[in-house]
Structure 1
Amino acid sequence: MSAEEILAALVAIPSVVGRPNAAVVGWVADYLAGHGVEAKVLPGPEGDRANLFATIGPAEGAGLILSGHMDVVPAEEPTWTSDPFRLRADGDKLYARGTSDMKGFLACVLAAVPAIKAAGLCRPVHIAFSYDEESGCRGVPHMIARLPELCAAPAAAVIGEPSGLVPVLAHKGKAAARIEIRGKSGHSSRPDLALNAIHGMAEVLAAAVAASEALTTAERDETFAPPYSTLQVGTIRGGDALNIVPDRVVAEVEARAIAGVSPVALLGPVRAAAERLAARGYGVDWTEIADYPALALAPDAPIARALVGLTGARPIPAVSYGTEAGLFQAAGVDAIICGPGDIGRAHKPDEYIERGELAACTRLLERLALSFNA
């Protein structure tokens, strides 16, 4: 099957983040089995989602990981001009949810399997497909934790997020949390008999704003835009009516950290403000919803040199969005971002990838596997 044919099959499976993914995992496993490659299905703790790991070539040796996520964001925008879960061609463009982010890369990996398998590898090439990346890289840590039993220590990992096939050396880390504040409801004419949850949350929001402003003059890394860590409150929900004292409010806050800074630590002042409310009778719940580290790969790392040589592209020093690459690096695996498509097309109606991008990526992966084994 060509990369385009594989992509058509993959996007037809609506593997939306946070939902069961047996259908897409099963399709990939069956495809690999058809080429004589055994896939290990690795269920996550949720019970209805799984990662997938497979090895081509010898089991021994420091291998190369080709990694991507199988989940996609929802496609509920009303402005889609065609079925988001059916591949539509218009000239060189192929439209569907996940074409760029990032089933296009998965399709290229799978399309390259026959050539990689026929190459007579002396070092393994591993396929590592994860779940729930779109909700904060929640699936891949379970697979990374099992790498010692799945393979010898890998030498490098290519995370195929859309980068126009230009290698990316660094990205920010991220931590995010959901904060629930509970008070006591009552009539607004007698606030003295109630406990206003929104008023309590206001103190937490003030702490978030202060922390955000402080970061603009804190540690800097000029490779990023902006060149400092950031913090923001992204959502807030609470209250039923103007004349009712609200008894519950929920907010979500995130921090994005430059390399060398803990994103979880950045949320510390916000969490402390929330927990102080408990002493005043508020109920407080803090739920972590994302936590992954920054990526910082040296430009002279072997995998960076290899991709620069094969693509002829000068690497991008850093991007501000996050990926699973930082988690691989934290586990001791040199990781780099390089994949087809454009991140600017992701998470939008009429997401697309170009046929030429699929072809170029498939050729690159075949050549990379061979050069890695030279």
Structure 2
Amino acid sequence: MNVEEILATLIAFPSVVGTPNGAIVDWIRDYCQAAGAEVTVLPGPEGDRSNLFVTIGPREGRGYIISGHMDVVPADEPEWSSDPFFLRREGGKLYGRGATDMKGFLACALAALPGLAAMNLRQPIHLAFSYDEEAGCRGVPHLIAALPGLCERPLGAIVGEPSRMQPVRAHKGKAAARLEVIGRSGHSSRPDLGLNAVHAMAGVITHAVAYSQSLADGPFDDNFEPPYSSLQVGVIAGGQAVNIIAGHCTADIEVRAVPGVSPSSLLEPVKAGLFALRDSGFEVIWHELSTYPALAAAKGSELAAVLTELTGQEPLTAVSYGTEAGLYQQAGIDAIICGPGDIGRAHRADEYIETGELAACRKMIHGLGARLAT
């Protein structure tokens, strides 16, 4: 199969984040085994979705990980010009949900497998395909935890998020949480008999917003815009009707942290404000939604030099979006971002990737194999 045929097959699987992914996992497993690769399916704790780890070449020795995620965001935008789960080609553009983010990269890696198998690699190349990245990198931590039993410590991980095939050395970390306040409902004419959860949450949010403004005081990293950590409240929901005391309220909050700052630590003041409501009779619950660390690859790292050689492009210092690369780095594995497509096309109607971008990605993977071949 050529890369376009593989991409069409992958896009036809509606592997939306948070849903079972057995169908796409089974297809990739069978394809890789037919290409002569060693495949390990790693079921996640959810029970209905799995990570995949694939090795081509000798299992012994230190090699490189080519990392990507199999899940996509929902395709609910009404502006789609065609079925988002059917690959459509117009000239040099290939349209479909996940074409850029990031099944195009997966298709390139899979299309390269037969060629890599024929190279007589002296060091391995591993494919690490994860689930639920779009929910805050929930699947890949289980895969990374299993790596010591699957391979020797890798020389590096190339995370193929869309970067126009320019290597990227850094991104911010992120943590997100859902705050839940449970009060006591009743008729609005007797507010003295109830506990208004919306009012209570409003106080927590007011303090969170004030706290967020203090983050602009630093620490700073001028590689990013803005050059400091940030906090925002993205969703709030509560109450039933204007004449009913709101007995329940939730709010979703996220932080983005510059390298060197723990994302989870930035949420601690908000968490303290929420739990202080218990003194007023409210029940509160803190739900951690997701967390991943920042990526901060050294400018002169060997991995950055390898990617510069393979792509012909100097690494970009930083991007605004987050990836699984920070988790690899946290685990002691050098990591860098480099993949086909443009992040500006992701998570929107008529997402597409260009055939030339796929060709450049395949060239990069082939070049990596050539470095490891006898």
Matched, 1:24 2:40: no
Matched, 1:209 2:209: yes
Aligned partner of 1:111 in structure 2 is 111
TM-score, normalisation: structure 1: 0.99
Q: Match for 1:260: what amino acid?
A: G
Aligned partner of 1:155 in structure 2 is 155
Q: What whole-Å deviation, never above 9, does each CA across 1:26-60 have from its counterpart, x for those lacking one?
A: 11001101111121100000000000001111111
The answer as to whether partners of 2:121 and 2:372 remain within 8 angstroms in 1 is no
What is the DSSP-based 3-state SS (H/G/I as helix, E as strand, rest coil) of the residue aligned with 1:244?
Answer: coil
Q: Match for 1:271: what amino acid?
A: K
**CA separation of 1:372/1:227 partners in 2, compared to 1, >3 Å: closer, same or farther?**
farther
| Cα offset, 1:373, TM superposition | 4.9
**Counterparts of 2:363 and 2:176 in 1: how far apart (Å)?**
37
What is the DSSP-based 3-state SS (H/G/I as helix, E as strand, rest coil) of the residue aligned with 1:54?
Answer: strand
Aligned partner of 1:371 in structure 2 is 371
Aligned partner of 2:137 in structure 1 is 137
Q: Match for 1:347: what amino acid?
A: H
The answer as to whether partners of 2:119 and 2:373 remain within 8 angstroms in 1 is no
| Cα offset, 1:337, TM superposition | 0.2
Q: What whole-Å deviation, never above 9, does each CA across 1:83-140 have from its counterpart, x for those lacking one?
A: 0000000111000000000000000000111111111111110010000000000000
Aligned partner of 1:226 in structure 2 is 226
The answer as to whether partners of 1:257 and 1:263 remain within 8 angstroms in 2 is yes
Aligned partner of 1:357 in structure 2 is 357
| Cα offset, 1:369, TM superposition | 2.2
What is the DSSP-based 3-state SS (H/G/I as helix, E as strand, rest coil) of the residue aligned with 1:340?
Answer: coil
| Cα offset, 1:372, TM superposition | 4.4
What is the DSSP-based 3-state SS (H/G/I as helix, E as strand, rest coil) of the residue aligned with 1:222?
Answer: coil
Q: What whole-Å deviation, never above 9, does each CA across 1:129-163 have from its counterpart, x for those lacking one?
A: 00000000000000000000011111100000000
The answer as to whether partners of 2:158 and 2:335 remain within 8 angstroms in 1 is yes
**Counterparts of 2:369 and 2:245 in 1: how far apart (Å)?**
62
**Counterparts of 1:331 and 1:137 in 2: how far apart (Å)?**
14
Aligned partner of 1:183 in structure 2 is 183
**Counterparts of 1:239 and 1:319 in 2: how far apart (Å)?**
38
What is the DSSP-based 3-state SS (H/G/I as helix, E as strand, rest coil) of the residue aligned with 1:243?
Answer: coil
What is the DSSP-based 3-state SS (H/G/I as helix, E as strand, rest coil) of the residue aligned with 2:235?
Answer: strand
How many corresponding residue pairs? 374
**Counterparts of 1:39 and 1:210 in 2: how far apart (Å)?**
50
- Alignment map for 1:248-259 (pairs within 5 Å): 248-259=248-259
Aligned partner of 1:302 in structure 2 is 302
**Counterparts of 1:373 and 1:317 in 2: how far apart (Å)?**
30
- RMSD of Structure 2 on Structure 1 (CA): 0.8
Q: Percent identity?
A: 61
TM-score, normalisation: structure 2: 0.99
**Counterparts of 2:207 and 2:23 in 1: how far apart (Å)?**
44
Aligned partner of 2:84 in structure 1 is 84
- Gaps of at least 5 residues in structure 2 are none
Q: What whole-Å deviation, never above 9, does each CA across 1:292-323 have from its counterpart, x for those lacking one?
A: 00000012111110111221212110112110
Q: Match for 1:358: what amino acid?
A: L
Q: Match for 1:317: what amino acid?
A: T
The answer as to whether partners of 1:15 and 1:21 remain within 8 angstroms in 2 is yes
The answer as to whether partners of 2:72 and 2:134 remain within 8 angstroms in 1 is yes
| Cα offset, 1:228, TM superposition | 0.4
**Counterparts of 2:160 and 2:138 in 1: how far apart (Å)?**
17
Aligned partner of 1:69 in structure 2 is 69
| Cα offset, 1:200, TM superposition | 0.6
**Counterparts of 2:152 and 2:40 in 1: how far apart (Å)?**
15
The answer as to whether partners of 2:120 and 2:373 remain within 8 angstroms in 1 is no
**Counterparts of 2:207 and 2:29 in 1: how far apart (Å)?**
48
The answer as to whether partners of 1:207 and 1:269 remain within 8 angstroms in 2 is no
**Counterparts of 1:42 and 1:366 in 2: how far apart (Å)?**
26
Q: Match for 1:151: what amino acid?
A: C
